[in-house]
Structure 1
Amino acid sequence: MSLDLARLRALQRQAGRSDAPARDDPAAGRDAGAAIADRRRAYPAAAATTTAVAPTAIAPAIVVGAVSPATGPANAAADAASSVLGADGVFGPDGLVPSRPQRTDLDALRRLIALRERKPANPGASNAAAAGAAQTLERNPAARPRATARDAAPAHGLGAVTADRSLPGEEIAPGLHLIQSHLPLPGPREALSLAFAKRPDDRLDPRRLLFFDTETTGLAGGTGTRAFMIGAADWHDDPVLGDGLRIRQLMISTLSAEAAMLREFARWLAPDTVLSSYNGRCYDAPLLNTRYRLARIANPLSGLDHVDLLFPARRLYRGVWENCKLATLERELLRILREDDLPGSQAPAAWLQFLRGGSSALLRRVAAHNHQDVVTLAELMQRLVQAYAQAQAETALPES
């Protein structure tokens, strides 16, 4: 639709508008110029008013205004709108259609303001207060507030307390812990006969024995299973503590410390050491052999004598009790009753939980379980020697 501004003003004069100046009147032109300038300054308000006009307000003007064949319905509609709002209100001061102003999204603006980091109203005062509090604590350490469980709780967990990850023993290498203890259990003064192990001609110095047991990441074996704890016990005459049973345990808290554990365990072995275990010939020793091979460390177990106590115990007590597990022999033969013991089957889960950032409480119980295992092996060896000797004496008595 095209409409000449001059014709629109002529139509305004015909309609009797007093503010439409004549073309030939200079004074009227000056007045019209001043009026246009005023309307330019007030133009945004006029544009907003233009958008708010309802079609019903323009319809009466369209009906009243005369529609000539020359102008047509479109020009008639423009004439009617001009009669209501004026030429400048419809087309703007320059005769162009004004652009509609965009409305500001107040909700988006509020969200942006909320996301901005709020700064303290008076940073200087805050810094001064913090400095004053620090000086107060330096002069009076007793004024320091006590830490509570709420302070130790992480931000993401309400009421949660920081897990205790302390491990027993001494860290002798990164991730490798050594746990040592001494029990006043003097070793046998005489050589031990290995007749109970079907070696009637062999007699063994008890000081050469090393009882050992491992705690592993699984019971299936294979290259994917590794030992995270090795416990060993031997009779040792300590210059301070005296003669007794020495218990040493190696435990790793990281996977990278496995090689250091294997090297340290190799230092405990001598060429004349005799290993003793409970089913260690079939499980513990092959597992350690694999780990030494994978770590590319010389295997110190190769060529060492090994006395496995499981098979003699089965020959002597099969059918006497429900099974020949080490826990059963402890209870029935040695009269040892464990309290709050963690079963060996739960040791892998306890270690993996610690690796994932959990508490070390279960891992400490695994260490206590391993400690008792090697102590039991030392006592079981002496009892099997006595039991076999007694059985041989009872067998020889009727024949005599």
Structure 2
Amino acid sequence: MPMNEDLHARLRRLGVTKGTQNLPTPAPSPRRTQPQSNAPALEKLLPHGRLETHHASQCFVVERVYPLHHRHGRYPLGALAAQALPTAALFCQDDRLQDIDLQQLLFIDTETTGLGGAGTLAFMVGTAYFEREALVVRQFFLRDHADEAAMLPLLAEMVATRPGLVTFNGRSFDLPLLDNRYFMNRLAPPHGDLVSQPHIDLLPPARRIWRSRLTSCSLSSLEQNLLEIKRTHEDVPGWAIPSLYNDYLRSGDARPLLGVFYHNHQDMLSMVTLLTQVLHLFAEPTLGHPLDVVGLATWHLKLGQADTAEQLLRLAQELAEGEAATAVLPPLAALLKKQNRRAEAVALWEQMVRDNPAEIDAVVELAKYAEWHAPDAPQVAQALIWTEVALARAQTHQPYNRPLREALLHRQQRLARKLG
């Protein structure tokens, strides 16, 4: 319904406007503090850097070029080209990735002034891309907040030439943050927005595949425990980065930021190595750690590929020993049960019960099988025995799990009545 003219006029007098077209251009942020007299200029600290201009604004850009034979951890950078991108289309569930050449991808990682919110800035955006038989790492840096007016359009020009993106947790953090910065600056994000672009976020497959044997699936943990990457003393912890940038804005001394440039630069190279590792494992699971193969199988289950998942779990059974062999049993038994192949799952449940005195779920499954699915006739007495075993284990190993104990007591009483 049209707004009353008098009300419209009153709102205008109060400063309320409809839409954004009539809003005044926000004032630029104050320039950074001039460097201390003894502090070297940013250009001298980073000889690979230069100022790049967009219209009347500038930002600082650092660029380094690596030959494809340069090794970062387990693989040379060029090893990515040998992998199959349709595999990424599969685990990302994005068919748009099918037709994209791996060497057309753009890797993106941000360093920010905080962990989110409308006021959070990406003061550094690292990018990496393949070009003319080399990997180019280009970092955009805001000497102060006003440089965002140059950085965002320059980044948009780069993204516009690349049909797909690669990040580590970018779907939840980096890309929404950058989209928000384009919106706040009244600029159009490349391709409409970044979040909806063909995109490989490496964090979900990393968690799915490696969380069973790594305490953390952070990029630094994956570097140390999987990718054979060791950072030098130049690195700074991620949690310290916002305060280092704020210190720079106050003092003008960029020397402490060298560690931030190094940190972001290593992130870019490590994402290339990590993507190579993920695609390599999907293509050659026999070369993976048994626990990784189990993680890969659960990923295929999530994608609805039960046959492939079972093949991988059977492979993991052959490869595994000790703890890894035990880890194969629950997902394989669950898969067989879901496919109504409980008779095949019985041997797995029995092994789980033998191997782990605290195992309860498998005992309950054996009780259910004996009561409802045993061949020829229900084995109620055996079901009662298994239920009593589960109840004893629950009282010993989960004494505070009252719902579990009550459910088992109810099952025990029901089976006893059934026998009587």
TM-score range, shorter chain: 0.5 to 0.7
Q: Check if 1:277 corresponds to 2:167.
A: yes
Find the aligned partners of 2:246 and 2:198 in 1 and give their Cα distance. Answer: 33
Match of 2:40 among 164, 168, 171: 164
Q: Check if 1:380 corresponds to 2:274.
A: yes
Task: Identify if the C-alpha distance between structure 1 residues 161 and 255 changes in structure 2 by more than 3 Å, giving closer, same or farther.
Answer: closer
Matched with 2:64 is 181
Matches within 5 A, 1:73-112: none
Q: How many residues align?
A: 235
Task: Identify if the C-alpha distance between structure 1 residues 326 and 278 changes in structure 2 by more than 3 Å, giving closer, same or farther.
Answer: same
State the TM-score, normalized to the length of structure 2.
0.52
Question: What code does the residue aligned with 1:180 have?
Answer: E
Find the aligned partners of 2:219 and 2:240 in 1 and give their Cα distance. Answer: 16
Whether contact under 8 Å (1:271, 1:304) holds in the other structure is no
Find the aligned partners of 2:83 and 2:281 in 1 and give their Cα distance. Answer: 16
- Residue 175 of structure 1: how far off its partner (Å): 4.8
Match of 1:208 among 104, 120, 123: 104
Find the aligned partners of 1:247 and 1:200 in 2 and give their Cα distance. Answer: 26
Task: Identify if the C-alpha distance between structure 1 residues 385 and 200 changes in structure 2 by more than 3 Å, giving closer, same or farther.
Answer: farther
- Which SS does the other structure have where 2:228 is aligned? coil
Task: Identify if the C-alpha distance between structure 1 residues 166 and 200 changes in structure 2 by more than 3 Å, giving closer, same or farther.
Answer: closer
Matched with 1:224 is 119
Matched with 2:259 is 365
Find the aligned partners of 1:360 and 1:396 in 2 and give their Cα distance. Answer: 54
Task: Identify if the C-alpha distance between structure 1 residues 183 and 280 changes in structure 2 by more than 3 Å, giving closer, same or farther.
Answer: same
Q: Percent identity?
A: 36
Whether contact under 8 Å (1:272, 1:304) holds in the other structure is no
State the TM-score, normalized to the length of structure 1.
0.55
Matches within 5 A, 1:172-321: 172-173=52-53, 174-185=57-68, 186=78, 187-189=80-82, 191-192=84-85, 193-194=87-88, 197-199=91-93, 203=98, 204-219=100-115, 221-237=116-132, 243-270=133-160, 273-300=163-190, 302=193, 303-321=196-214
Question: Aligned-pair RMSD on alpha carbons?
Answer: 2.5
Higher Rg: 1
Find the aligned partners of 1:313 and 1:368 in 2 and give their Cα distance. Answer: 23
Task: Identify if the C-alpha distance between structure 1 residues 276 and 200 changes in structure 2 by more than 3 Å, giving closer, same or farther.
Answer: closer
Matched with 1:396 is 311
Task: Identify if the C-alpha distance between structure 1 residues 342 and 182 changes in structure 2 by more than 3 Å, giving closer, same or farther.
Answer: same
Find the aligned partners of 1:249 and 1:170 in 2 and give their Cα distance. Answer: 11
Whether contact under 8 Å (1:175, 1:254) holds in the other structure is no
Matches within 5 A, 1:22-171: 162-167=38-43, 168=46, 169-171=49-51
Q: Which runs of 5+ in 1 are unaligned?
A: 1-159, 238-242
Matched with 1:339 is 232
- Residue 162 of structure 1: how far off its partner (Å): 2.0
Q: Which runs of 5+ in 2 are unaligned?
A: 1-35, 69-77, 288-292, 294-309, 319-420
Whether contact under 8 Å (2:223, 2:230) holds in the other structure is yes
Find the aligned partners of 1:391 and 1:199 in 2 and give their Cα distance. Answer: 20
